[in-house]
Every structure is written in structure tokens, then in C-alpha cells.
Structure 1
Amino acid sequence: MSEKTPVDFWFDPLCPWAWMTSRWVLEVEKLRDIEVRWHVMSLAVLNENRIDELPEEYRDMLANKAWAPVRVVVAAQQKYGDEVVGKLYTALGTRFHNGGEGPTREAISAALDEVGLPADLIEYADSDAYDTELRASHKEGIDKVGQEVGTPVIAVPGADGEQVAFFGPVVTPAPKGEDAAKLWDGTLLVASIPGFYEIKRTRTQGPIFD
């Protein structure tokens, strides 16, 4: 049996659109011979050099809410291995987005407990102890697609052995079944074309969590 195709997925737990895409990729994992590998990127890091250009509400969100979740995930990864990242992301995202709890310390602590990680990891929410590793993970993902995008970033092996990477797709609700598989196949098809950059239309609805 052939090895599964690795799919590298960079996320910030804060982003509802990345959350939608992540649930779609997990559906694809059931339908295509892929294995998702989870990595952290950071909206706070992405925007730190243009913070003055952002709306006040978004600046406040980045300053007061964006650092804690990614710092805790990276600390968990550094201490307990890559295998905990996807599980912790699912627990965080379910609480932040589906449950409407938002990125509070209480929600982060509950997510840690849910996946059996030590409660004292919450202490890293306000610590820069692993910011070097956080920034390195962010850079690895964003360097594949450039600074003009956000989260998520997905990278897959291309036909020539080089990775094909892209931002998105942005979709709501997360497709299920054959729709999920078709979107995957189509996304890989267009992303693999040299010189292809963008398909886009105006969003007419927000994330639908189901």
C-alpha cells in the first residue's frame, strides 16, 4: 500500500475561516489518500509591521486575543510532540467557533483538559518562551505563498517534487462527502498550474459552523 500524501496545513486558531477550511480538509482525509500535518501560523505576526493600517477593532483583537492561543499550541507541540497539535486545534476551534466561547483563557484551559494535556500549559499564553519557534513555523508557511494572504496556508507535493502551496480555500459551510472531494481535486488542479494566482468572489455570508 502506498504512503499517504502529506498535506501541510498552517492555521491560527483564532481565524474562523481557517477553521472552516480545516474541517473540510479533515473530511477530505476520509476520502482521499492524504495525511494532514498541522502547523501554527500567527495573524499577530503576519500583521505586526502594518498594525497602524488596520481597523481599530482588528488591532485590538490582535493585541489582546491573538497571541495566547498560538503560544499555547506551540508550547504543547514543543513539549509533547507534533501529534498533539491537530487534536488541540480541534478542541480549541470547537470551543472558540462552534461553541461561541471565543479565545478566552477559560476556553484554552478547557481545551487542554479535553485532550489530556497538562493544565499548566496555559501559563504560556502570556509567555514569549517559544516565540522563536512560533515565528519559525509562521515563516515556513507564509514564505510558501507570500505576505499578501492570511490563514490557512496549505502545501502539498507537486508533480515535480516541489511543494505546491496556496492560501485557502475560503468556503462556508465546510463541504462534506463528494463535494469535499471535488473541491480538493479542483483546488489541487488549479494550484498546480504555473502562474495561476487567484480565483475570488465577494463573500455574501459569514462562517457557518455545523
Structure 2
Amino acid sequence: MSDTPQPEATTTADVWVDPRCPWAWITSRWLLEVEQVRPVAARFHIMSLSVLNEGREVPEKYRQGMIDGWGPVRVCIAAEQQHGNDALRLLYNAMGTRIHNHKEGLGRDMMLGALADAGLPAELIDAAEQTELDVPLRESHHAGMDPVGSEVGTPVIHVPGPDGELIAFFGPVLTPAPRGDAAGRLWDGVLALAGTDGFFELKRTRDRDPIFD
């Protein structure tokens, strides 16, 4: 029998995001750091804040975002359907960089630029107006959100528990994204909390705006 340590199996962390959410963007940057220091692979999926907030009263300043937010998530869904999950990851990263770091908004120019950045066909922009894509969009949304309930937003993360059970949780919401070993330590702590039966909430008031650097 060999005494050579066996590599740890890679854990897939499924994360549901809307490209327009700044807090999900920061969490996603943290997950990319976690990939470097833990045997974790982040797999991106799309939820929609526009779907989440349908029928709810939202502040006036958010209403236009509710309307404009449909286009980017439809384009993301179309990209995944036609080119696979790896393409979705590339497109989400490209959109997030343009939306949050470059402040380009949610419009057509942002989406065309992101498609080019991700190496995807410009024709995918047509998906922004294709309401029939709302069916698979809602399916993706509910696959991520239903296990955590209706009182949370994005990001939502699913990971397999040690006994094969699903561990699903909202967050973490943080800024800025921890780097290196700090990212790994946070991952360990988040899993310890989320994997504890009966644990529901740990929260404090946010006292700073999102930091994207």
C-alpha cells in the first residue's frame, strides 16, 4: 500500500447570480480565489432579480433596473444553451467586469462588448428581447432559489454535504473579496456554518458600499 497522500476530491460549488447584482459579483470574485486555495470548482448559473421581485413593491430607483435587467440574463441563458456552461462563466465574468468595474450599465453596448470579450457570437444579443427564454430562465432561477426560500436574493450557493445531502445558502455578502489564504479560511467557515443543522442566520448592518478592486 502506498503512503503517498491522495489528492482531495474537488467539490463543485454551484452559484446562482444575476449579472447586475454588485454583491453577487464580489462573492463570485471570492469564489475564484477559493478555487486557487481549496479543491473547489465554481459552476455558475443564472437567477434573475427581475423574476425574484415580480409583484413586489420596490423603491423607485430600482424599477428601471428591474426592466433593464431582463436582457442580460436572457443573453446569459442563451449562451449557456448554445455554447455550454463554460461559456456562461466567461460571459458572466465579462458582463460583471463591464457592469461593475467599468460602469457600463445594462444596455446593448455592454452586452455586445461582453459577448466579444467572452469570444461568443454577437448574434446572441438577439436573445435580450426573446421572451420565450424566460421559461428556461425561470427554471434556472427556481433551481437555485427554491432550496433557500423566498426571503433572500443573490448570490445563492449549493454544495454537497459530507453525507450527500444538499447544503444551500444565501451569501456570503461581503466587501471587498478576500484574497489568497483569507479566501480559503472564509470558505471553511461558511461551510461549517451552512452545514450545521438548524443554522439560519448571521448578520450585521452593512456600513460600506461594494468595493470591486
Between 1:24-33 and 1:78-87, the stretch displaced more is 78-87
Runs of 4+ in 1 over 4 A off after TM superposition: none
1:38 is matched with which residue? 44
1:156 is matched with which residue? 159
- The alignment's C-alpha RMSD in Å is 0.9
Q: Which runs of 5 or more residues in structure 2 are unaligned?
A: 1-6
From 141, 160, 163, give the equivalent of 2:144. Answer: 141
1:191 is matched with which residue? 194
Counterpart CA distance in 2 for 1:84 and 1:95 is: 17
In the TM superposition, what are the counterparts of 1:36-185 in structure 2 within 5 Å?
36-50=42-56, 53-63=57-67, 65-185=68-188
From 25, 28, 31, give the equivalent of 1:22. Answer: 28
After superposition, what is the alpha-carbon deviation per residue over 1:106-141, rounded to whole angstroms, capped at 9, x for unaligned? 011001011111101111111113211110000000
Q: Which runs of 5 or more residues in structure 1 are unaligned?
A: none
TM-score scaled by length of structure 1 = 0.96
Counterpart CA distance in 2 for 1:95 and 1:176 is: 21
SS at structure 1 position matched to 2:55: helix
SS at structure 2 position matched to 1:78: helix
Counterpart CA distance in 2 for 1:104 and 1:176 is: 31
How many residues matched?
207
TM-score scaled by length of structure 2 = 0.95
Give the % identical residues: 55
